[in-house]
Every structure is written in structure tokens, then in C-alpha cells.
Structure 1
């Protein structure tokens, strides 16, 4: 059995691609196209992970990461958003939504995507509060420098000014150094793998002090972000982290607005549920329909292909008897829409 295990491991390693990739402006333009969406997962538990080694030939294996918070991220045209006029220079925007039992947090990130992927500002809404918080970055903060490949290195300095209801908050000075120091195959928490670049991000903040992140980027938009516990962590092997984030590829869904009124996936009932729960959804056009269930690690646990369906109201009874108790994400996928809701499965 030991020899068989070694054989399977060898076959797996031999099948992994170690090619270096280059990320250009047009790649992120495609990733954040209007309507593209994905789930973003975060966990704030301290743990130890293997970050890989400087150079090439790495296998960045994060298949063991688990997460306890889920966000929904969607690419939008800046000019079609409520706050686009405040960031008229931006040509990319993505919206991130996070729901708790008490509040819904919605943030809009505005970027200028040209010579680099430059953060212009962030607007955050909290349900129940009338005034959104605006964060302005001056000059823009360069998160990515093009072309991005192994060996790319740059620095970015910016002043972050938060304003809410006309009141200016605590101003933050940022000095950030970026270095693409490694590349290889990234094994994501959902078990899929892609070629990726590793960026070491060293931040000096007037508010937060010094800290280091490692970000792993792919051409599809899938990524992993790790915040290290130490101010100057090792660049290889196992390091302690205080948070981890992961998102899969942003799915290309065309330019149809997936959030138009009366269109999409509604809250399931009952929720929580012990055995079965009903999912209701609306289709504006005839479309192929799939329902995909993920656990909070991002692992796919069910993939239901419901065929081609006519416009109108539809309902599907989900059998969860084979699911363990816990939280899940149900995603409705059609030709022009991808939306998600959270399910809570209880013990019988």
C-alpha cells in the first residue's frame, strides 16, 4: 500500500504544471467584467501554513484551508453604480456583499486599470445607517504593476482619507512594497489547481504598523491571500498567519444585469432545515439551470443540472439528508446569472 501511495503521489506531481504566467491589464478587465461573480471566503483563525519557496517549481497547496465567513463579489461597470460619479476616472468596479444576522455590509471598490491596477477609492454601506463611508486614496494605490510576472517589483505610497456624513475620519499613510518572488501551481481550497504567481506584500501603515501578506494570483481571477502573524516572516516553508482569504474564478456571465428586479434566487424555506428545503427562483428568459452547493471550505458537495427551463417562477426541493450539519452556499447558475444564498443544515 505504501508503494501504491508513493506511485499516486508521483503521478500527481508529474501532472502539475510549473509554467510561469504573465498577468496584463486586459486579463483583469476580463475578470471583472460587468456581471461576473464569485464567492469570497475568509477565516480569522491563527494557524500555520506552508507558503512555498522563492523561485519556480512550487506547489502552493492550500486544499486544507477552511473558512467561516462568505462574501459575494460581483464585477460592475463603474458608471452604472451609485457612486461612480465620485470616481469618474475608474474603469473597473467590484461590489462585495457580506451578511450577518444583524447587518448587511456592501462595499464598492473602484480601480483605474491601465498601467497598473490602481485603487482609487472604496465606498461601504451598512444596512440601517443612512451615510455610507467613502475612502479616497491619493495618489491611487497601485495593487498590481503590469506586466506582472516573476521578478516584478514595485512600491506604492498613498494617503487614505475616510469621510462619512461630511466628517473626516482618521487619515492613514500607507507605504507598501510588492515583490513577485515565486511561481508554481496553486491548489485551491476547492481542490482545483491553476498556475499562479506569489506576491510578497510588505505594508507600513501609520495606523496598523508593519505587516506582511502573501497573495497568490491566477489568470482566471482565483486567488489566495494570507496575512502573516510576524512583521518580518520567513519567505519559505511554514509560517504563522492570522487570516486567510480565498476566491474561485469570477464566472463570465455576459452583460445582462443579474440583479434586475424579480430575477434570481430567493431565500430558501425552511432555513435552517434538517432534511429538505425549498429553493425558489425567477427566470426572465429561457435558460439552462444548475444549482451548485458548496460547503464553507469552497468544496462542491452537490451539482444539480435541472435542464432548460422557461421564463417565470420555479421551485426546487433540495434533499439534504446526505449533508452534514453546518453552513452551505447554494448557487443558482443560468446562462446570464450566478447568485448565491446561505443555507443552514441542522442535525436530525
Structure 2
């Protein structure tokens, strides 16, 4: 708006990151002395637009200074316009697709990420999925992510460890969600399923091994829905670790049905079976044996003498996957101290058998 009427509205031009020269037209409203600039091309995502207006003449014929205005557009797929692309936007996209609301449509697109130029065609298809996925990847590769503390919604989600897998069980009516994990990177390496991008299922993840942070965000339109999120935990040492898991789960129409944070102990689980050398060796009268179980199974740890006779059974029961240590005090099944000499200890579990030798001194 201008304070005085205009004789000549001058010239207008616009440039941006996505456009070398934008197509604009200008008009003048004498009723409120307003100069109206119309952009005739779709705005690009996260674009910086510079609008230049020159050669304006006021009612007395005097020219005005060149005027420049700068604008920044919102990001494509940032439905809540907070300059983040996260699980809320993924849930919003899913809602738009489900309801046939084309105001949530993203593609087809042209240009380069993040400055995509959308040209919606009132059809939801894989091009919309890929537009969202590319914006998600760009945002999470460009920006750091961190866990925030939010009010709990619903009860705690069931989270259990099965061998090396950490399994988060989702509510039955979940359609989208986020799982965020903080873990000690010097002790554990986390991974999850490969990313999926189809018209019915989006599964995206980012893992920062340097900081010990993993983010998984997903949306599922399939008939059966997504039932669990599974994380694989590889141990770099024999120690259990405390980790923090935060989650936000959405149901239909972008309603949060579960949100919370849990601290759990992640049990260290080896990659392969092993029976290690006992220590000390030679020993008198106590020694320690270490063994590794990558899977749950019935396990036996048995002591034999040089003649192959069973001296003692140290373990004879179902054992969960993990790292274990077991001491032997030099006594047999009757509680009597055995004589000095060479003995063997053997592990038997899930088809794995390994035997090692030790020397008891007297």
C-alpha cells in the first residue's frame, strides 16, 4: 500500500534459489492505493525470493527508490509449518491420503531437494511418497535430532529383548509413529530394518553412531498394519547398557494414541557361540570360565576328568542369549575336592559343542 496515488506502477521482477527469473504480473488498486504482485508460477520449497520494484511514479510525477522485499517459503511436506519434517508431518500426509484430501498432495515435483517445485495433479501415487521421503532424508541429514521429554499418553508400550533384537510392540490401531533411542555408542551398535517406500508403507530411519542416537519414523496403510518395530543390537563389549526409548504413536486422523519414554537395560548379546579359556590356568582351587550364547537355548557346562568321566555339571538349564561366566571350585558332584591334574570343560547348546583343557594344581 502507498500513502499517495500512483501515476505509474513501474516494473516488478523476482528471483529465487529455484527460479532465475520468476513470472510475475502487477496491477494497481486505486481504491486503496495498493500495488498487487501476482506470482504466476508455483512457489518452490524452502525458497528465498527477492522481489524488486522500480520506476514507480507517484501522483506528482516523482519517482520512488527501488524497493526490495525478501520472502522465505515453507518446506514441502512441513504440514504444521514449524520448519521440521517429522512424524507429525508423516501422520498428516497419511491422513490426507486416507481421506482423499488433495491439499496434502506433494507431487509430481521438479527441481532439487529441498527446493522442489510441486505441481499437484489430484492423484496420490508413488511420486507423492518419494517427494515426502526425499524431503525427510534431506531434513534429517541437514539437522541434528534429539529426544525431547513429552507428557505420557496411554500406557507404556511393551518393549522386550529377544536375543539380539529389541522389539517394540505397537497398539492395534497404530497407523504412524516415531521411535527414538539413545544408547552408548562405545558399547553398542544399533540397526533396524531397511527403509521402505511404497504407496502403502513408509519406513524411514536415521542412526548416528557418533552420538548414539537412532530415529525410526513410519506410516502404514496396509490391511494388516505394522505390529512391531524391531531394533538389532550388536555389542562391542560384554557389558549390559542402559538405553532410553521415546515414542509417539498416531492413530487415525492424526490422534496421538501412545506417547512416552522408558529406560531399559539392554542385555549384551554376542554374535556367535564361544567357550573361552578359563582363568587362572593352572589354578588352585577356583577358576572362571566365560562362554557366549547368541541365542536362547538349553545349555550344559560339564567338567570331565582325563579319563572322560563326568566330574561336575556347572550349568544344566535353559539360558537366555548373552555373555556368561561360571566358576568351578574344584569339587565334584558329591562336594568333594578332586585331585590335581588335567580336566576338561565342555559346553553343549543348540547344536554347538566346544571343549577346553585346564590344569588343577595341588
Question: TM-score band, normalised by the shorter chain?
Answer: under 0.3
Q: TM-score, normalised by structure 1?
A: 0.22
- Structure in which a larger fraction of residues adopt strand: 1
Q: TM-score, normalised by structure 2?
A: 0.21
Higher RCO (C-alpha 8 Å, min separation 6): 1
Computing the radius of gyration from Cα coordinates, the structure with the larger value is 2
